[in-house]
Amino acid sequence: MELISINLEKCNSSFACIRACPVKAISIQKNGDLPEINHDRCIGCGSCLDVCQVGAVSYLSSTEQTLKLLKSGKDVAAIVDPSISGEFPDITDYRKFVEMIRTLGFNYVNEVSFGVDLVAREYKKLFSNFKGKYYITSNCPSIVGYVEKFYPEMITNLSPIVNPMTATAMVVRKKFGKDTHVVYIGPCISAKDEAQVHGGDGKVDAALTFQELRELFSRFNIKESNVEFSDFDQPIGYMGSLYPLSRGIISAATMDESLLESNIITTDGKENIIDALTEFSAGPEAIKKHFNLFYNEGCLNGPGISNHENKFLRQTLVIDYAKKRLKKFDKKLWMENIEAFSDLDLSRSFKKDDQRLEIPSQEKIEEILKSVGKTPDEKGACSACGFRDCRDFAIAVSQGLSRPDTCVTWSLKSKQDYIKTLKNKNDRLRKSQQEFEENEKLLKTENQKIKIKSETISSLLQNLPSAAVIVDDKFKIIESNKAFVNILGEDAEMINEVIPGLIGADLKTLLPYNIYNLFGFVMQKDENIIGRDVTFGEGLLNISVFSLKPNKIVGAVFRDMYVAEVRQEEIINRVSEVIDENLKMVQQIAFSLGEGASKTEKMLNSIIETYKKVKKE
């Protein structure tokens, strides 16, 4: 029986279910990127249900199975968990609730709280007659499953007593007949698995959650206003009504709960029960206590309830319900019923179902930790992967239960190193951008012609076949063309996608020192550098740097001189032709920036003559 299922069409691959599962019964597909369930490891705790924000995780429905039983022609009894007082505060009188269940077609409606009373008596006998052995309560099916599968050596420490659901099924069949079908109604989904364990009089034919019961009420339009009062069938429970609270079974057994005298430790919740079982396995002789454990915060907060909010209010409702019942409780009749059913065999056994995997060597663990940037002695694990610490995560990776990329910190680092570098400079870039925006606003109000000139410069640069860039006195890029971005490589292309034209980017972070130092020389000396050959990576660039505005603005043209298997004279011819064309465009850029044409023209002519001389030589 597959208790939990995942609708992969709904799944958004958040892997929240994987992180929530305490036994790693859910892992990432080996050949995919979606979660899958190992049903053999599942303990039915339901931790995966509420964390899935898209509702892709669900549990096995028993509604149709229940309706089939109701139509079978045989008597069907509903045994109801005492958590109803916390689940149905919207129903003003529990007697209306009982009649609503009868209206669905049930012949009998009994309280599981009476089964709690019977089981509690057995626990009192077991814990009071101490013979040197410490026990773990076996009321919670998820706890039983956890021990059987992951601490199988401790199954002899599980209390050999059936849980209240099974005990109540025995009571019902003894009173109403062995052929009576039994349907459990409660907050627990692991009860669906537990129902399959026991045969004979303790068999539970179907297990409904409170959520499913509400669905049936809605389907058949059964409301409190449409029904009369009806009480539970005998036998009625006594202190078993407190069972939804973690210490309720202790109260029902009237065992000492004082801190000084009690020999029982009660705890609940995923993290607490994992710690408890870990410590118990290390040796209960040191603690010298029996452990009363519930996976959820008592049955009151099981995964099958309809609302997990206001848990303290619901605890109060359970206590108030018990008090109200006890005011007119017929204890004499209860004692007669206890005696009448005292001959029931409430013992049970457990089976080993070892699902543990081999623990890898320390060397393998350290190797995996190193691969995700962790050290064996690293402290303060974030637990974002769902494991208690990095070592457990590394073990799970080795066992195939997880993958390195589920380590959030490592995944972010390995995939976004460049983005992180960019973010480190983001504040400065943002400030620069703000300055540019403010300047742009001022320029727009002062003279619209500036915009036209800027557009002209940009158009000229983009049409320039060689790489070109213009920077200010802080080496911030004012404008660059696509060819310049291409020369810089993939890093610059990524920045260009965020900041087109690399506007505002720091030239010093994009070019090596020997290149951007040429810009600094021209900026300070106001002297042009023409045709300087500079190695860049594995290539050779010919760079010309010009002072476009003394000590304020510098422009440069880059040409890739690395052309294999071409004669030197042909290279010079091609370079000369390119220079002639590009320098004309540079002249236009200089004119657009308001510089005097005559000085620039002399300089350009000098450059051209120099190249012609080189060509003749």
DSSP for residue 241: G
Average pLDDT over residues 525-529: 90
**First vs last Cα of the chain: how many Å apart?**
90
pTM (global) more than 0.85:
no
CB 371 within 8 A of CB 397: no
Task: Write out the E strands in 493-597.
Answer: 529-536, 539-549, 553-560
**Digit-coded pLDDT (tens) for 539-581:** 888 899 999 889 999 999 988 776 443 345 445 565 566 566 6
Q: Looking at the predicted structure, is the pLDDT value of residue 235 above 90?
A: yes
Q: What is the pLDDT of residue 419?
A: 64
Q: What is the pLDDT of residue 143?
A: 94
Q: How far is CA 376 from the centre of its chain?
A: 24
Find the helix packing angle between 597-616 and 568-592, rounded to 10°.
180
Average pLDDT over residues 492-517: 86
**Digit-coded pLDDT (tens) for 36-94:** 999 999 999 999 998 888 999 999 999 999 999 999 999 999 999 998 888 887 777 88
Q: What is the pLDDT of residue 150?
A: 93
Q: At the topology level of CATH, where does 1-59 sit? A: Alpha-Beta Plaits (3.30.70)
Token pair belonging to 198:
């026991």
**Digit-coded pLDDT (tens) for 195-207:** 888 889 999 999 9
Q: What is the spatial distance between Cα 63 and Cα 362, in angstroms, rounded to a whole number? A: 49
Q: What is the pLDDT of residue 596?
A: 47
Amino acid at 146: Y
Domain boundaries, the chain: 1-59, 61-340, 358-415, 459-616
Q: What is the spatial distance between Cα 406 and Cα 282, in angstroms, rounded to a whole number? A: 30
Q: Looking at the predicted structure, is the pLDDT value of residue 482 above 60?
A: yes
Token pair belonging to 575:
């370079």
Q: How far is CA 128 from the centre of its chain?
A: 44
459-616 CATH pick, 3.30.420.40, 3.30.2080.10, 3.60.15.10, 3.30.450.20:
3.30.450.20
Q: Looking at the predicted structure, is the pLDDT value of residue 172 above 90?
A: yes
Of 322 and 58, more confident: 58
Q: Please provide the average confidence, as pLDDT, over all residues in the chain.
A: 83
**Digit-coded pLDDT (tens) for 113-168:** 999 999 999 999 999 888 889 999 999 999 999 999 999 999 999 999 999 999 99
